[in-house]
Structure 1
Amino acid sequence: MRTIALILMLLRPVAAHAGDVTLALRTANGRPLADAVVTVHPANGVPRTPIRFPWSYDVVQQNLQFVPHVQIVPVGATVRFPNRDRVRHHVYSFSRPARFELRLYGRDEARSYTFTTEGAVAIGCNIHDQMTGYIKVVDTPWAARSDAQGRVRIASVPGGAARVTIWHPRLRGRESESVYNVTIPATGTFARQVTLETR
């Protein structure tokens, strides 16, 4: 009986201390930096369970644009690319994490692709050169995109040492990233304003 009780205790999730991460992202000239992707990797690692985000993983082609311009998906996610335009599109990427082509398809049709490698994937349309977008494939459940005011909030990050990575297609530096080693509070909020060099 004691053995069974011990096993149940080991299997029961332990409520960890967790804090929130809020960042205000600015360029060197003081302007808000929208569409930056912030990820947090606690020093103790990330859960082994599948990562699921509450938003749709679709990247819609509408008004000759990719919407959203920057999408965040977990490793292993299948992304749909619906066409809402009157013209046909040919979506492609030459990025290292995912090289693919979704050949010509028309209005109200969709194609899909599964992203199996972490990293930033630049996408375009082979017919309309002005169409550009990005898919950030992440391996952590703690990820978010900055809004039009450059604000980011990531809730319930385990307290303790962590690595915060900020990615944006116009960031200067290796892989268009800035990396910070921080300490997340066990309760409350880790809040910072971050100034970033952009191209």
Structure 2
Amino acid sequence: MNQLLPLPVVWSLLLSCAALFSAPLGAASLQAELLDSQGRPLANAVLSLRGPSGPPPAPELSLMDQRAKQFAPNVLVVRSGTAVSFPNSDNIRHHVYSFSPAKRFELRLYQGTPSEPVTFETPGVVVLGCNIHDWMVGYIYVTDDPWFAVSDEQGRINLAQLPAGKYSVSLWHPQAPDMLPQAAGELQLSEAAVQQRFTLAMQGANQPTAPSAPVSAFGEAFKKARDAAQ
């Protein structure tokens, strides 16, 4: 005569099976440190990976906020086809726009959050400006690569849950020569965590990418992005 298992045991077995089938097989991770040519930590640098075939993460809604009359984050990286919302957390109005070839758009003078996000379909650099505050400049780096991240203030990046295999690495920073991405070789990632240091060639001194003084930062940044796309 068959005996039924106690309910707690059944639930335990079901959860174990679910964890087994949902856990990624051969998951790898990368801990990267990004430096400028002087060996200093490089914030706001983009690292992207193109590697083994498989289902990449689906594009999700991203945010480019405006706080204290600055774009936050200063550098945002998204996959092609991602929708980006532009909330305004300041108690004043902003007028966000871009003339970049990768995405031209305009969000006229507003407070709060526009009702519709902006979708970025084409890979490239999108330089953001505010028609009211000339010193405001932000960057959206749009890539077809499925895995990417932006370095923190210490130049660090952590990418987890990657399929094991060989990857091509690309690096980008607003102060990269001609504002173009730089190939950074290949990486072999296994189930063990990999630590790697990368150095980016920079144009000029490593200055903050979000100027606080009212200078025409947008015009200069847009010119570099436009020339790079030609």
TM interval, shorter chain, is 0.7 to 0.9
Q: Using CA pairs below 8 Å that are at least 6 residues apart, which structure has the higher relative contact order?
A: 1
Q: Which residue of 2 aligns with 1:6?
A: none
Deviations 1:146-177 (A, max 9, x none): 011001111132222211111111112x6432
Query: 13, 18, 35: which one pairs with 1:26?
Result: 35
Task: Report the alpha carbon displacement of residue 126 of structure 1 after superposing the two structures with TM.
Answer: 1.4
Return the structure number with greater strand share.
1
Return the structure number with greater helix share.
2
- Distance in 1 separating the partners of 2:56 and 2:162: 15
Residues 128, 193 of structure 1: CA spacing in aligned structure 2 closer, same or farther, 3 A cutoff?
A: same
Write the letter of the residue equivalent to 1:45.
S
Q: Which residue of 2 aligns with 1:67?
A: 72
Residues 153, 177 of structure 1: CA spacing in aligned structure 2 closer, same or farther, 3 A cutoff?
A: same
Structure 2: stretches of 5+ with no match in the other structure: 1-20, 204-230
Q: % of aligned pairs identical? A: 39
Deviations 1:86-125 (A, max 9, x none): 33211111112111111111x3243531111122211111
Alignment of 1:1-199 (within 5 A): 16-42=25-51, 44-47=52-55, 50-52=58-60, 57-105=62-110, 107-110=111-114, 112-172=117-177, 175-199=179-203
TM norm structure 2: 0.71
TM norm structure 1: 0.81
- Distance in 1 separating the partners of 2:58 and 2:87: 25
- Distance in 2 separating the partners of 1:142 and 1:27: 22
Structure 1: stretches of 5+ with no match in the other structure: 1-11
Write the letter of the residue equivalent to 2:121.
T
- Distance in 2 separating the partners of 1:18 and 1:109: 37
- 1:33 aligns to what SS in structure 2? coil
Task: Report the alpha carbon displacement of residue 142 of structure 1 after superposing the two structures with TM.
Answer: 1.4
Residues 158, 25 of structure 1: CA spacing in aligned structure 2 closer, same or farther, 3 A cutoff?
A: same
Q: What is the aligned residue count? A: 182
- Distance in 2 separating the partners of 1:33 and 1:160: 27
Residues 151, 72 of structure 1: CA spacing in aligned structure 2 closer, same or farther, 3 A cutoff?
A: same
- 2:99 aligns to what SS in structure 1? strand
Write the letter of the residue equivalent to 2:50.
H
Tell me if the contact between 1:161 and 1:181 (Cα under 8 Å) persists in the aligned partners. no
- Distance in 1 separating the partners of 2:24 and 2:90: 47
RMSD between aligned residues:
2.3
Task: Report the alpha carbon displacement of residue 41 of structure 1 after superposing the two structures with TM.
Answer: 0.4
- 2:104 aligns to what SS in structure 1? strand
- Distance in 2 separating the partners of 1:108 and 1:47: 35
- Distance in 2 separating the partners of 1:195 and 1:165: 11
